[in-house]
């Protein structure tokens, strides 16, 4: 294995190649490290201004030959007002090898709801959580945590899956809300019979105040739609939850389960069921014991019965269509270098992509699922052996792994009929925050040290702090950088992606408004 490092802590291109790649598994070609202080096309300085949010999802639109990157609710973790957005970017591609280079941001589109009430942030689809934005835990309003992205091959609209609701929206090319899809009743988060978009599973009392407690049903907190796929003809959308529903198993402990729901929506505007869910399938996460065994083989004793926890910090991050029935699914743990573990102290167990097939899977819309074994007669989607092991190739110094692999796209055709697959991480804007919303930049040196700094002020930092208080501020030492964005490029053969159908474009959308 040979590693070529061209630039350090700037835009980095690294190539890792293997002499004998496995059959029907895409070959890793190279990757790019992107500085964490990169600004988007707004050019607005600061973490809450134009700091690029990297890759909660990635989509390649073959109709326009454009790449798009979705960033999530912003650097505040739902505690800071932030205008959510999607970014058009470009990369140079060697169509013979699949090698990528020269990442650059071309356009930033902010999401808005023109019909929504105007406030201090205009009519932006806002990253603030519903309680803080609306003053009431049962109103979703314009609260928006975008996590999954496709472009409608019929219209060119942005179709975006949101984690808060969970919700599914269509936006025009200017980012204006055009359509809200129906949320299935069993996914809506509740405390008893009341809708509550912010409640945790914890019992009320102690340090957890009402209304932030007592969730009993629907999606888990911060575990709504995490990925979105579109069928090649654009008529169907598949949104996948990150983890099981909070009541699967009941009464409020979905974090111990491995049965994740995939929801199929009608996206045919001429259909009487347009915008409604049609069917729900179950995808089974890899057993926690298998992930823990890999972790303990790397670092004995590093995995425990609850870390990584099945159905909470093992989950699904992305889904992408191969054709009408086959899909790629990205499954991962929450380990690796990120704002919560900036030195990467914990060993990584799972950063993997699988192929799935929904043919013959049961509709579980009206069926309650348990923690592990499926109810009698219920058939899950079929799941292949590992298609891509992302952790087999890392660009971070010292062999460290990036934590949040969330972006996945099948890209353009390469020479010989092969395809580019692009994967990207979410670095959380390299920002952490207290429960009250006080924010700090997170810097690392990839040598076992990290620093937290007053937001946007690297002169007020503390190296290796024990808490979220900067007691003895100093200037950021040399050798530290914000957490980078990471892109991996893979070259998939025609065998790897047998049956792949590129999204079709019967109406000839060009990226312009309808």
What's the rounded mean pLDDT across residues 336-354? 96
What's the rounded mean pLDDT across residues 397-423? 96
What's the rounded mean pLDDT across residues 177-194? 97
For 77-124, how does the pLDDT look when each residue is reduced to its tens digit (9 = 90+)?
999 999 999 999 999 999 999 999 999 999 999 999 998 777 666 799
Q: Three-state secondary structure along 339-391?
A: CCECCCCCCCCCEEEEEEECCCCCCCCCCCCCCCCCCCCCCCCEEEEEEEEHH
Instruction: Kindly list the distances between the CA atom of residue 136 and the CA atoms of 194, 218, 483, in Å, as whole numbers in the listed order.
Output: 12, 18, 34
For 222-264, how does the pLDDT look when each residue is reduced to its tens digit (9 = 90+)?
999 999 999 999 999 999 999 999 999 988 889 999 999 999 9
Quick one: what percent of the chain has pLDDT higher than 90?
86
Q: How many residues does the chain have?
A: 514
Looking at residue 5, what is its pLDDT? 30
In this structure, are residues 56 and 147 in contact, taking their beta carbons and an 8 Å threshold? yes
Per-residue confidence band for 508, with pLDDT thresholds at 50, 70 and 90: low
For 416-448, how does the pLDDT look when each residue is reduced to its tens digit (9 = 90+)?
999 999 999 999 999 999 988 899 999 999 999
What's the rounded mean pLDDT across residues 197-223? 90
Integer Cα distance of 309 and 255 in angstroms: 7
In this structure, are residues 26 and 97 in contact, taking their beta carbons and an 8 Å threshold? no
Looking at residue 29, what is its pLDDT? 98
| Closest among 43, 71, 83, 107 to 430, alpha carbons compared | 71
| Closest among 350, 347, 379 to 362, alpha carbons compared | 379
pLDDT at 23 over 90: no
Integer Cα distance of 229 and 214 in angstroms: 32
Integer Cα distance of 367 and 282 in angstroms: 10
In this structure, are residues 158 and 170 in contact, taking their beta carbons and an 8 Å threshold? yes
**Which DSSP helix (H) or strand (E) runs through 337?**
none
What's the rounded mean pLDDT across residues 326-332? 98
SS3 89: strand
The angle at the Cα of 457, spanning 454 to 461, to the nearest 5 degrees, equals 55
Looking at residue 145, what is its pLDDT? 98
Looking at residue 17, what is its pLDDT? 36
Whether pTM exceeds 0.85:
yes
| Closest among 315, 129, 124 to 225, alpha carbons compared | 315
For 364-380, how does the pLDDT look when each residue is reduced to its tens digit (9 = 90+)?
999 999 999 999 999 99
Q: End-to-end CA distance of the chain: give it in Å, rounded.
A: 49
Q: Could you check whether the bond before residue 211 is cis, i.e. omega within 30 degrees of 0?
A: yes
pLDDT at 2 over 80: no
Integer Cα distance of 165 and 218 in angstroms: 10
Looking at residue 435, what is its pLDDT? 86
Integer Cα distance of 352 and 389 in angstroms: 5
Of 47 and 8, which is predicted with more confidence?
A: 47
Looking at residue 13, what is its pLDDT? 54
What's the rounded mean pLDDT across residues 488-497? 97
pLDDT at 1 over 50: no
Instruction: Match 């992107």 to its residue by tokens.
Output: 34
**Which DSSP helix (H) or strand (E) runs through 296?**
helix 288-298
For 258-304, how does the pLDDT look when each residue is reduced to its tens digit (9 = 90+)?
999 999 999 999 999 999 999 999 999 999 999 999 999 999 999 99
SS3 428: helix
Instruction: Provide the b/e sequence for 71-81 (b: ≥16 CB within 10 Å).
Output: bbbbbbbbbbb
Instruction: Provide the b/e sequence for 379-398 (b: ≥16 CB within 10 Å).
Output: ebbbbeebbbebbebbbbee
In this structure, are residues 329 and 354 in contact, taking their beta carbons and an 8 Å threshold? yes
Per-residue confidence band for 205, with pLDDT thresholds at 50, 70 and 90: confident
The angle at the Cα of 183, spanning 179 to 185, to the nearest 5 degrees, equals 155
Per-residue confidence band for 18, with pLDDT thresholds at 50, 70 and 90: very low
Backbone φ, ψ for residue 132 (5° rounding): -70, -35
Looking at residue 412, what is its pLDDT? 98
pLDDT at 21 over 50: no
Looking at residue 7, what is its pLDDT? 34
Mean pLDDT of the chain, nearest integer: 92
The domain limits of the chain are 2-392+399-492
In this structure, are residues 164 and 224 in contact, taking their beta carbons and an 8 Å threshold? yes
DSSP state of 113: -
In this structure, are residues 35 and 386 in contact, taking their beta carbons and an 8 Å threshold? no
In this structure, are residues 27 and 51 in contact, taking their beta carbons and an 8 Å threshold? no
Looking at residue 509, what is its pLDDT? 66
pLDDT at 347 over 90: yes
Q: What are the structure tokens assigned to 162, written together?
A: 């949101």
In this structure, are residues 482 and 441 in contact, taking their beta carbons and an 8 Å threshold? yes
What's the rounded mean pLDDT across residues 158-162? 98
């Amino acid at each position: 294995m040979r590693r070529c490092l061209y630039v350090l802590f700037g835009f980095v291109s690294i190539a890792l190649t293997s002499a004998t790649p496995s059959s029907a598994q895409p070959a890793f070609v190279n990757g790019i490290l992107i500085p964490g202080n990169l600004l988007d096309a707004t050019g607005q300085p600061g973490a809450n201004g134009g700091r690029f949010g990297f890759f909660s999802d990635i989509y390649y639109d073959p109709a326009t030959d454009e790449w798009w990157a979705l960033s999530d609710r912003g650097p505040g973790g739902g505690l800071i007002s932030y205008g959510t957005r999607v970014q058009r970017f470009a990369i140079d591609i060697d169509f013979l090898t699949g090698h990528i280079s020269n990442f650059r941001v071309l356009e930033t589109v902010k999401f808005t709801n023109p019909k929504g009430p105007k406030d201090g942030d205009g009519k932006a689809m806002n990253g603030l959580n519903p309680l803080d934005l609306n003053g009431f835990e049962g109103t979703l309003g314009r609260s928006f945590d975008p996590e999954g992205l496709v472009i409608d091959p019929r219209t060119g609209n942005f179709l975006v899956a949101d984690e808060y609701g969970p919700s599914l929206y269509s936006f025009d090319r200017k980012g204006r809300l055009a359509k809200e899809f129906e949320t299935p009743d069993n996914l809506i988060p509740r405390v008893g019979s009341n809708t509550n978009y912010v409640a945790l599973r914890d019992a009320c009392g102690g340090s957890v105040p009402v209304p932030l407690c007592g969730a009993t049903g629907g999606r888990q907190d911060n575990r709504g739609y995490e990925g979105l796929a579109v069928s090649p003809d654009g008529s169907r959308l598949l949104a996948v939850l990150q983890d099981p529903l909070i009541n699967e198993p009941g009464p409020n402990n979905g974090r111990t389960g491995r049965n994740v729901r995939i929801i199929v929506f009608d996206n045919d505007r001429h259909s009487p069921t347009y915008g409604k869910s049609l069917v729900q399938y179950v995808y089974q996460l890899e057993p926690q014991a298998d992930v823990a065994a890999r972790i303990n083989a790397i670092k004995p004793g590093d995995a425990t019965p609850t870390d990584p926890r099945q159905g909470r910090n093992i989950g699904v991050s992305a889904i992408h269509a191969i054709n009408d029935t086959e899909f790629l699914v990205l499954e991962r743990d929450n380990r690796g270098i990120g704002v919560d573990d900036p030195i990467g102290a914990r060993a990584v167990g799972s950063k993997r992509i699988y192929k799935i097939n929904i043919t013959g899977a049961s509709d579980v819309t009206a069926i309650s699922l348990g923690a592990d074994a499926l109810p009698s007669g219920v058939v899950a989607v079929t799941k292949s052996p590992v298609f891509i092991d992302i952790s087999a190739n890392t660009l971070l110094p010292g062999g460290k792994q990036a934590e949040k692999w969330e972006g996945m796209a099948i890209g353009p055709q390469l020479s010989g009929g092969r395809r580019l697959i692009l994967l990207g991480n979410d670095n959380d804007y390299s920002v952490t925050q207290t429960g009250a919303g006080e924010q700090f930049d997170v810097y690392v040196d990839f040598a076992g040290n990290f620093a937290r700094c007053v937001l946007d002020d690297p002169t007020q930092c503390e190296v290796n702090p024990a808490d979220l208080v900067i007691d003895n501020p100093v200037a950021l030492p040399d050798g530290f950088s914000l957490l980078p964005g990471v892109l991996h490029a893979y070259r998939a053969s025609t065998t790897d992606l047998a049956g792949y159908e590129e999204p079709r474009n019967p109406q000839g959308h060009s990226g312009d408004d309808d």
